[in-house]
Amino acid sequence: MTKKVIRINEATIRFAGDSGDGMQLTGTRFTEATAIVGNDLKTIPNYPSEIRAPLGTLAGVSAFQLMFGSSRVFTPGDLPDTLVAMNPAALKVHLKDLKKGGTILANSNAFTAKNLKMAGWEANPLEDGTLHDYTLYSMEMSKLVGKALEGSDLTSKGIERTKNMFALGVLFWMYNRPVEPTEAWLRKKFGKNPSIAEANITAMKTGYNYGETTEIFTTSYAVEKADLPKGKYRNITGNVAVAYGLVAAAEKAGKELFLGSYPITPASEILHTLSTLRNHGVKTFQAEDEIAGISSAIGASYAGDLACTTTSGPGMALKTEAIGLAIITELPLVIVNVQRGGPSTGMPTKMEQSDLLQAVHGRNSDAQIPVITAQDPADCFDCAFEAARVALKYMTPVILLTDGYLGQGSGPWLIPDPKDLPEIPVVHPDSSARGEAGFMPYSRDENEARPWALPGTPGLEHRIGGLEKENITGMVSQDPENHQLMTDIRANKVARITQEIPPSETFGDDKGKLLVIGWGSTHGSIHVAVERSRAAGQSVSQLHLRWVSPFPADLKAVCDNFDDILIPEVNSGQLSLLLKAELVRPIHQLNKVRGEPFRASEIENKINEILG
């Protein structure tokens, strides 16, 4: 039988199953193969906060979505074209998102009476016509891998566990992806346990052959290479990109990297990644709590390392007092907040952008701090590098905001040539900095940065601390004039960072009816929405902010060229609040806090609502 191959421009696939079904792994393997084919892509995981929620329940469903295409891909896609449902609960949770006419790949062996009941299906949807609007491929995955692996060393449970590789194999066939990279990866991962590796490879190939040979599949899809900028790429998650950005900055600054951190979802992968890099001289210190995480980093900064701390919202709250200490002692420090849903423990595995005001203003007293935000997983590298560079240049802590979607989502990263990364000049005064009146730890350079004199330098012994210091001398001071001066210097130092921000670039036109302003991970959805609206003839452009403290110097001028402003945010209106004060003009808001990123269509609808 000849099978049709249809060329398509893009596709969105969602893998869904029980949290023990290995959906994150399956999705990641599909992503890797897709990246190697040369498509552009974005991914997003969606998993419960319980490690193993009760088997077969709706709460226990774990999912992974990716969109890939032959042109630029800015988001992991709105509604999936294809849904892999490994059990009835996965189908129940995700069916509502599947495009009408979309494709379902289901493991029919998991659709037992017990599982159906647990997922709230009254009858078996694979059999009762519920899914007649969709293309359904109901496969006995468990049974098929069982047969393929007859006589294997694995227990029957072990064999059952390879069914995700069967599903992956079917998808590899369906979307014309190579199996070899996953084969190699499995052999490497289970190097010590070859029978597991081989069983998984067999299951994957069985799935692939099932697609190719059985008559139920008539069509496969081809997605051509994307026209990406030339160069070498790899797929990268935002958390890994942050880690690499910090390592790169440390090397370019000639510093050792110190991370003081306490494990927290969804930021822990930064700690994990950096802890593997001992041969890069990286010192990771898993502290006893969030406060010790940042405090140890402040100590390491004082003693001369490039220091950073990584966390998520609740951890950020705990670090607040110490951030103030880093501000008043004017020590360089990178603080990474991988935002999640809150308040309090909130929704640890779900994304949100609701720590913006906390980052910009959330401290006692007037305590300004530069805040940089990353727009996609690969951008996390650049932002981490930039955060470190600015921290070192201005002797200030810098906050980098990413979120769970960026941190755990992935996309292709155009690998930079290390030689092209800018050097980060760092000067430590030596003994000659001691004048007749002694060493002046709060003297100022052209950027009002104070000297970074390291303990161990003869003659520069000095004291710093949380008590207000006299400018220049660094003596403890409660003098009213001095406090005013120091408060102003600290604020000016942050304001001066506008000189690091390149002129704002809008996507679209420089002037028009509507400007959609965003920050952080909304970039992709806004971009797609603005692109579609422009194609439909709307006068709309996009401005995406990287620094949200300070704002770009030309922000007001850019905004003045538009009649209206719309800010979509995954919070209740935090950038809107800041920009209303900054621009003193009304702003349209689009806010949602559902633990998930915007769909482009939601923003598109809002644009149409405003522009008519």
Strand-strand pairing, 219-223 and 257-261? unpaired
Distance in Å, CB of 367 to other proteins, minimum: 13
Distance in Å, CB of 418 to other proteins, minimum: 4
Output 27 or 260, the one with its CB closest to other proteins. Answer: 260
Output 122 or 420, the one with its CB closest to other proteins. Answer: 420
């644009």: which residue's tokens?
A: 607
Q: Select the residue interacting with other proteins from 133, 321, 430, 479 (CB under 8 A).
A: 321
Output 43 or 339, the one with its CB closest to other proteins. Answer: 43
Distance in Å, CB of 123 to other proteins, minimum: 43
Whole-number Å distance between alpha carbons of 608 and 612: 5
Question: Which of the 8 DSSP states describes residue 428?
Answer: -
Q: How far is CA 187 from CA 183, 193, 200, 391, in A?
A: 6, 9, 9, 43
Whole-number Å distance between alpha carbons of 422 and 498: 19
| Binding region for other proteins (CB under 8 A) out of 322-330, 355-363, 523-531, 550-558 | 322-330
Q: Select the residue interacting with other proteins from 111, 208, 258, 547 (CB under 8 A).
A: 258
Q: Select the residue interacting with other proteins from 8, 303, 536, 557 (CB under 8 A).
A: 303
Distance in Å, CB of 44 to other proteins, minimum: 19
Q: How far is CA 525 from CA 81, 228, 518, 597, in A?
A: 18, 19, 10, 8
Cβ contacts of residue 333 below 8 Å, gap of 6+? Answer: 294, 297, 298, 301, 307, 308, 309, 326, 391, 397, 398
Output 71 or 213, the one with its CB closest to other proteins. Answer: 71
Selection from 488, 429, 484 nearest residue 462 by Cα: 429
Distance in Å, CB of 65 to other proteins, minimum: 20
Cβ contacts of residue 165 below 8 Å, gap of 6+? Answer: 26, 145, 186, 200, 201, 203, 204, 207
Enumerate residues 430-469 that contact other proteins by CB under 8 A.
Answer: 438, 454-467
Question: Which of the 8 DSSP states describes residue 360?
Answer: H
Q: Give kind and range of the element (H or E) at residue 61.
A: strand 61-69
Enumerate residues 281-300 that contact other proteins by CB under 8 A.
Answer: 281, 283, 285, 287-289, 291-292, 295-300
Give the interface size with other proteins as a residue count (CB under 8 A): 73
Between the CA atoms of 191, 197, 201 and 207, what dihedral angle is there, to the nearest 10 degrees?
-140
- 3-state SS class at 14: strand
Enumerate residues 355-384 that contact other proteins by CB under 8 A.
Answer: none
25 is a contact residue toward other proteins (CB under 8 A): no
Enumerate residues 395-434 that contact other proteins by CB under 8 A.
Answer: 415-416, 418, 421
Enumerate residues 172-231 that contact other proteins by CB under 8 A.
Answer: 181, 185, 225, 228-231
Distance in Å, CB of 435 to other proteins, minimum: 14
Output 259 or 516, the one with its CB closest to other proteins. Answer: 259
CB 423 within 8 A of CB 388: no
Distance in Å, CB of 275 to other proteins, minimum: 10
Whole-number Å distance between alpha carbons of 578 and 479: 32
Distance in Å, CB of 143 to other proteins, minimum: 32
Output 103 or 296, the one with its CB closest to other proteins. Answer: 296
Output 3 or 280, the one with its CB closest to other proteins. Answer: 280
